């Protein structure tokens, strides 16, 4: 029971920090959406998505394997710290070179409406994105969720602060928004390094690089890496397809709906961040099944209730955060809400499967999803525009959810009702949490 209490405590801490993250994220969306307009916001989405795609494509799964090996205490922390700095730096250089080639040869297809100078500027964020990703997973592996969540809030707050300064005060427009993104991530990386050195007594030495750990981390991580990259493409390829077939304004309106809808995954993100290292470090199959089933069914219920609430408040939410120029965004959000609710549960199950050392199951499903999603969008977007993209997104999430719960059932032997339908015993968990909150 003590491990359950620890899990719930870490999940609750993560949830409260995620709520703060969402509030800050909404403020950032409001600043960018209102001051850049739908076309400017669409270009901002493309400019920040480009380096993020490079990051996701070339991490080699080192971020995922970091959580796995650190949580199992199979590798010295200082070795992980040194390896992640060196690998992250080298891969970021390679990513920038790949990015430069992409801009030189495919700029008209990928960045039709975005200023080319800002596309080059966006590549400056790549080293900070790599190091941020590699260091935040160290805190996850250590199960130091207080530091992990504080750093994630700081990242959003830093970007927001710079956005207010550059976009509102100095009126630098899209260039200011992109600069805020770069500087916000840079500050987060510096803080992460400082916390690891001060609180975990790590130190950097070039000659401390471990080839043995590098091989282990890549061998494990590549399976998860292909899955993560395919999942990322599944969620983001539509932005590039929209950019090619439509306008920057359409991308902006779709991105606004996507960003708002993804906030529904707050519970899934909170529990999944804690679940992955927890499952990785737990040897009992029964405990693994029990913990994930509790998390999955409660996330499912809460996310459905949140989605229903948002559905009836869509117009108010969209026009409050953005403005009336985002005319299609409320409809797009309503179309995608069911998909986002299913996606929340899928994230929980995916982290459980990866934590059991079976990331290849997620990998094959993710590959199928991205192929299915791209084909569907290439058919729907030219005919129905941004509405077709929203419908394609929900259809993809639905089939992905069905396949994921089948995989999880066969892997664990758990019944569908056990990890999808709420039980009376779950209300005792809520009662305990409320009592603790009142006591504080």
- For the chain, the structural domain boundaries read 2-439
DSSP annotation string for 416-427: HHHHHS--HHHH
Instruction: Give the C-alpha separation, 22 to 418, whole Å.
Output: 30
| In contact, 41 and 248? CB cutoff 8 Å | no
Instruction: Give the C-alpha separation, 296 to 420, whole Å.
Output: 6
- Provide the pLDDT confidence category of residue 433 given band limits of 50, 70 and 90: low
Of how many residues is the chain composed?
440
Upper half-sphere CA count for residue 167 (Cβ side, 13 Å): 27
**Residue 310: both structure tokens together:** 């948002």
Q: What is the pLDDT of residue 378?
A: 93
Q: What is the pLDDT of residue 62?
A: 85
First-to-last alpha carbon distance for the chain, in angstroms, is 21
Residue from 130, 142, 116, 144 nearest 86 by CA: 130
How many other CB atoms are there within 10 angstroms of residue 285's CB atom? 11
Q: What is the pLDDT of residue 278?
A: 54
Q: Please determine, for residue 34, whether its predicted confidence score (pLDDT) is greater than 50.
A: yes
Span 36-57, average pLDDT: 89
pLDDT in tens, 322-358: 877 888 999 999 999 999 888 888 888 887 887 777 7
Look at the block and give the residue holding tokens 């200011």: 176
Span 282-295, average pLDDT: 76
DSSP 8-state symbol, 142:
T
DSSP annotation string for 196-212: HHHHH-----GGG--HH
Alpha helices in 164-247 (DSSP H): 173-200, 211-245
Q: Which residues contact 329 (CB under 8 A, 6 or more apart)?
A: 253, 254, 256, 257, 260, 318, 322
Q: Please determine, for residue 279, whether its predicted confidence score (pLDDT) is greater than 70.
A: no
Q: Which helix (H) or strand (E) holds 106?
A: helix 77-110
Q: Please determine, for residue 268, whether its predicted confidence score (pLDDT) is greater than 90.
A: no
- Whole-model pTM: value is 0.75
Instruction: Give the C-alpha separation, 260 to 322, whole Å.
Output: 11
- Which has more pLDDT, 217 or 273? 217
Share of residues in the chain with pLDDT > 90 (%)? 30
| In contact, 44 and 28? CB cutoff 8 Å | no
- Provide the pLDDT confidence category of residue 5 given band limits of 50, 70 and 90: low
Instruction: Tell me whether residue 309 is exposed, middle or buried, using C-beta atoms within 10 angstroms of its C-beta: 0 to 12, 13 to 18, 19 or more.
Output: exposed
CA dihedral 173, 55, 382, 259 (to 10 degrees): -60
- Which has more pLDDT, 206 or 45? 45
Q: Which residues contact 376 (CB under 8 A, 6 or more apart)?
A: 392, 395, 396
Q: Please determine, for residue 133, whether its predicted confidence score (pLDDT) is greater than 80.
A: yes
- Provide the pLDDT confidence category of residue 267 given band limits of 50, 70 and 90: low
Q: Please determine, for residue 152, whether its predicted confidence score (pLDDT) is greater than 70.
A: yes
Residue from 128, 95, 127, 102 nearest 116 by CA: 102
Q: Please determine, for residue 221, whether its predicted confidence score (pLDDT) is greater than 60.
A: yes
Tell me what the pLDDT averaged over the chain comes to: 83
Instruction: Give the C-alpha separation, 418 to 414, whole Å.
Output: 7
Q: What is the pLDDT of residue 377?
A: 93
DSSP 8-state symbol, 284:
-
Q: What is the pLDDT of residue 127?
A: 95
**Residue 414: both structure tokens together:** 């758990």
Upper half-sphere CA count for residue 168 (Cβ side, 13 Å): 13
- Provide the pLDDT confidence category of residue 1 given band limits of 50, 70 and 90: very low
**Residue 182: both structure tokens together:** 């770069």
φ and ψ at 282, to 5 degrees?
-95, 130
Q: What is the pLDDT of residue 67?
A: 80
Q: Please determine, for residue 7, whether its predicted confidence score (pLDDT) is greater than 80.
A: no
Per-residue three-class SS string for 326-377: CCCHHHHHHHHHHHHHHHHHHHHHHHHHHHCCCHHHHHHHHHHHHHHHHHHH
Q: What is the pLDDT of residue 258?
A: 86
């Amino acid at each position: 029971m003590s491990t359950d209490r620890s899990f719930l405590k870490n999940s609750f801490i993560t949830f409260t920090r995620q709520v703060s993250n969402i509030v800050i994220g909404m403020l950032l969306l409001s600043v960018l959406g209102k001051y850049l307009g739908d076309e400017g916001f669409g270009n901002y989405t493309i400019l920040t998505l480009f380096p993020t795609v490079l990051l996701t494509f070339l991490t080699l799964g080192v971020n995922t394997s970091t959580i796995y090996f650190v949580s199992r205490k199979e590798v010295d922390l200082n070795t992980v710290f040194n390896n992640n700095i060196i690998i992250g730096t080298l891969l970021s250089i390679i990513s920038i070179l790949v990015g430069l080639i992409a801009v030189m040869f495919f700029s008209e297809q990928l960045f039709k409406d975005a200023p080319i100078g800002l596309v080059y500027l966006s590549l400056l964020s790549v080293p900070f994105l790599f190091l941020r990703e590699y260091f935040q997973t160290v805190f996850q592996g250590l199960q130091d969720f207080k530091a992990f969540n504080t750093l994630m809030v700081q990242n959003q707050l830093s970007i927001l602060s710079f956005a207010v300064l550059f976009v509102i005060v100095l009126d630098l427009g899209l260039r200011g928004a992109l600069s805020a993104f770069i500087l916000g991530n840079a500050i987060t990386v510096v803080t992460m390094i400082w916390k690891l050195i001060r609180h975990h007594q790590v130190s950097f030495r070039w000659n401390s690089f471990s080839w043995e750990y590098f091989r282990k981390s890549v061998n494990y991580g590549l399976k998860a890496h292909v899955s993560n990259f395919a999942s990322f493409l599944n969620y983001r390829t539509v932005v590039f397809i929209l950019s090619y077939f439509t306008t920057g304004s359409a991308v902006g309106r779709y991105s606004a709906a996507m960003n708002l809808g993804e906030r529904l995954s707050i519970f899934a993100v909170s529990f999944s961040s804690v679940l992955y290292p927890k499952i990785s470090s737990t040897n009992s199959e029964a405990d693994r099944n029990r913990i994930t089933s509790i998390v999955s069914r409660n996330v499912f219920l809460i996310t459905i209730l949140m989605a229903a609430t948002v559905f009836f408040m869509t117009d108010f939410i969209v026009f409050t955060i953005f403005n009336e120029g985002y005319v299609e965004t409320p409809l797009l959000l309503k179309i995608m809400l069911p998909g986002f609710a299913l996606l929340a549960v899928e994230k929980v199950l995916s982290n459980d499967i990866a934590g059991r050392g079976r990331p290849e199951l997620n990998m094959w499903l993710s590959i199928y999803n991205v192929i299915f999603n791209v084909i569907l969008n290439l058919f729907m977007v030219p005919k129905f525009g941004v509405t077709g993209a929203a419908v394609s997104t929900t259809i993809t999430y639905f089939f992905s959810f069905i396949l994921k719960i089948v995989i999880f059932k066969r892997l664990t032997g758990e019944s569908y009702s056990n990890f999808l339908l709420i039980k009376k015993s779950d209300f005792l968990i809520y009662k305990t949490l409320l009592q603790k909150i009142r006591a504080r």
